[in-house]
Amino acid sequence: MVTTGTLTSNRNLFFWMSIHRPVVATRSTEEPPAHPAARRRLQEASSTMRIHRYRPLSYALALAVLVGSLTGCLCRLCPPKPPEPGPPPPEPPVETLARIEVDDGIEVALLEQELGLEPVKVEEGRILYYRPDAEMTRKLADLGYQPVRVDAAPVLHRVMRVDRSLLLEEAALVDAGATVLLREERYWIVRASYRQLQVLARLGYPLSAVEELQLHPRQVRIVVDSFAQIAEVGRAGVDIYNATPLRDPKDPYRVEQSERGDAQPYVVLGGAFDDAIDRLRELDLQVEILPDPQGVVR
């Protein structure tokens, strides 16, 4: 099992390397992750050490290897210290759920009001999950529903913190199906299903609970071409506080015309997580990150 505690506390590249091989050897005895991309990553991790995102640091890495080797020799003189056991992979609060299909959120509200049904999760207002309950299942069946039992792990999601280290890749998080909400210097905040989180844990990604204040959207400033495009920014996931025509003389970034068209440009101010900012940049919009409000610590 990957010792997440060890990896979490690892701020020293040598230390990480010194435990790297034993960790992989332990992994190889485990059942491989279900997700093909995760399996691929695991294979890659067990065979070679690849650094994709931090090439500029490769020199530092080489130096660290050298220093590490020397230190390792010295350490042989000391008694070996076993890796600290990390927390187990996150488990969903229930193992199984019951699922029914509904038309919309109003139907869910009616089921709650009339039957006392307590939804555990509703996906897009169409798939309702509840804790299996024989009496409730009977009532629902009487109304024509067809409840089905399902495994909770791929259904329920959780937002977690993943501490970063040089050799952990964001791409693997995405491959495993996680959504990266925040990409901070020392950690990622991801949203993923329990199943996906379990895969990540096996891959060695150190997961921990999110402190609420870490889950703070960034302040963004976006210039759009037209009034209509403001709504696109909102749909991409920006919590729009305000939008004003760019010609507003109070705006220090005043320009008369957008570079991308003749329509009236607007400045949109709002809050957004990194997944929304990524989407905006895919739309070829310039996103300026503004300072956080007072008291926000990342």
Partner 1 sequence: MNRNLLAVFGLTLLASSTISAGPAFGAIDFSAFHTPAQVDSELANLASTHPSIARLQTIGNSVEGRPIRALKISDNVNTDESDEGDVVFVALHHAREWISAEVALYLAEYLVTHYSTDAALRACMDNLEIWIIPVLNPDGYIYSASDPSRRYWRKNRRNNGDGTFGVDLNRNYAYKWGLGTGNEGSSSTAHDAYRGPYAFSEPETTAFRNFIDGLDHPRALLTYHSFSELFLRPWAYTTSDPPGEPTLAFLAQNSISRIAAVHGHTYGETIWYNSYGETTDYFWNDSRLAGFTPELRPSSGGFGGFAPPPSQILPTAEENLPAALQFIRDAGCRRLWIKDHPTDNGTEPSSVWTGTGWNPAFWVSPDIWTVPATLTGGATVTLNVRIHNDGPAISGATIRAYYTDPRVALEFPNPANVLIGQQSPTTLPPGDTVLSFPWTVPTGTNIWGERHWCVGAVVTHPDDRPLTTMIERTSNIGARNFQTVPELVSGTLTVAVTNFLDVAAEYRVTIDRDDLPEDWEVIMPPRPEPPVLNRKARILGVERNVIEPGETVIQPIRVEIPPDAPPDLVHELQVSGALLPLVPGERTAVGNGYTFRIGGTPEEDDMQP
Q: Residue 247: what are its φ and ψ, rounded to 5°?
A: -75, 0
Q: Which of 18, 5, 24 is nearest to 67 (CA)?
A: 18
Q: Is 154 in the site for partner 1 (CB under 8 A)?
A: no
First to last CA, the chain: 30
What are the tokens at 245? 């025509």
CA 254 distance to own-chain centroid = 36
Sequence-separated (6 or more) residues with CB below 8 Å from residue 125: 102, 104, 105, 108
What are the tokens at 52? 């994709």
Nearer residue to partner 1 within complex by CB, 201 or 276: 276
Q: Is 122 in the site for partner 1 (CB under 8 A)?
A: yes
Q: Is 68 in the site for partner 1 (CB under 8 A)?
A: no
Stretch that binds partner 1, among 35-43, 59-67, 69-77, 289-297 (CB under 8 A): 289-297
Q: Which string of x and - marks every residue 190-209 that binds partner 1 (by CB under 8 A)? A: -x-----------------x
Of 180, 238, 277, 287, the one binding partner 1 (CB under 8 A) is 238
Sequence-separated (6 or more) residues with CB below 8 Å from residue 157: 191, 192, 193, 194
| Closest CB 44 distance from partner 1, rounded Å | 29
Nearer residue to partner 1 within complex by CB, 70 or 110: 110
Q: Residue 219: what are its φ and ψ, rounded to 5°?
A: -90, 130
SS3 label, residue 97: strand
Of 240, 260, 263, 278, the one binding partner 1 (CB under 8 A) is 240
Q: Is 150 in the site for partner 1 (CB under 8 A)?
A: no
SS3 label, residue 127: strand
Q: Is 32 in the site for partner 1 (CB under 8 A)?
A: no
Site residues (vs partner 1, CB under 8 A): 93, 102-115, 119-122, 124-125, 128, 143-144, 156-160, 181, 191, 209-210, 212-213, 215-217, 219, 221, 227, 230-231, 233-244, 248, 250, 266, 268-271, 273, 276, 290, 293-297
